[in-house]
Amino acid sequence: MKFLLFLGIIVAVILVLSNLGPMILFAVGAWLLYVSYKQFVKAESTAAKVIWAVIGVIVLSLTLANVTAIIGVLALYFLYVLYRSYKSENPKGAKLT
């Protein structure tokens, strides 16, 4: 059982490392989407609203291209749950014994 758990950890680490670039770009895209939305709401002229809407659509398409980063986030969460259950005396999730 420990061997399978070890293999699961190895696979999760490989997934996190292979999706590190898309995870960073997804986070940057989400931040840029937030900024463009805030600027869209703050803009008073119609031209400025159109420009911020176009920028928002472009950033949204770039962010959706990196949606595979969710796999890396799930693998990172799996590693966190295993680490947390390993450190606690009352494991709530996966057992390492």
| pLDDT tens digits for range 24-73 | 999 999 999 999 999 999 999 999 999 999 999 999 999 999 888 888 88
Assess contact for 79 and 12: CB atoms under 8 A. Answer: yes
CA distance 78 to 72: 10
| 3-class DSSP state of 85 | helix
Rounded average pLDDT over 69-90: 81
* Predicted pLDDT of residue 5: 79
The DSSP annotation for 1-52 comes to -HHHHHHHHHHHHHHHHHTHHHHHHHHHHHHHHHHHHHHHHH--SHHHHHHH
pLDDT band at 19 (very low <50, low <70, confident <90, very high): confident
